[in-house]
Amino acid sequence: MKKWIYSISIPLFAFGLAACSDDPSIDNHPKEQMVAPDEKHNDNNELIQTSDSADKSDGGNVNNNNPDDQEFVEQFPYKDFDLDIEYSPDMEYDFVYELKDEEKAEYRAILKDSVHDKKLEGVEAFQTLYTLLQDVQLDENTSKEDAIRQILESFQLDDDYTSFELEYTLKDGTEAEFEDKK
Q: Which residues of the chain have pLDDT under 70?
A: 1-61, 63-69
Cα of 155 vs its chain's centroid, Å = 12
* pLDDT (0 to 100) of residue 92: 96
* pLDDT (0 to 100) of residue 73: 85
Largest CA distance in the chain: 94
* pLDDT (0 to 100) of residue 63: 66
d(CA 9, CA 1): 12
Question: 48 and 127 in contact (C-beta within 8 Å)?
Answer: no
In the chain, the amino acid numbered 56 is K
* pLDDT (0 to 100) of residue 2: 59
Is the pTM for the entire model greater than 0.75? no
Q: Rounded to whole angstroms, what are the CA distances from 147 to 82, 117, 123, 135, 167?
A: 13, 24, 25, 12, 11
Give per-residue pLDDT as tens, 151-163. 999 999 999 999 9
65-71 long-range Cβ contacts below 8 angstroms, 24+ apart: 65/104, 65/105, 66/105, 69/105, 69/123, 70/104, 70/105
* pLDDT (0 to 100) of residue 30: 45
d(CA 85, CA 126): 18
Give per-residue pLDDT as tens, 86-124. 999 889 999 999 999 888 888 999 999 999 899 999 989
Closest CA to 170 of 132, 125, 139, 142: 139
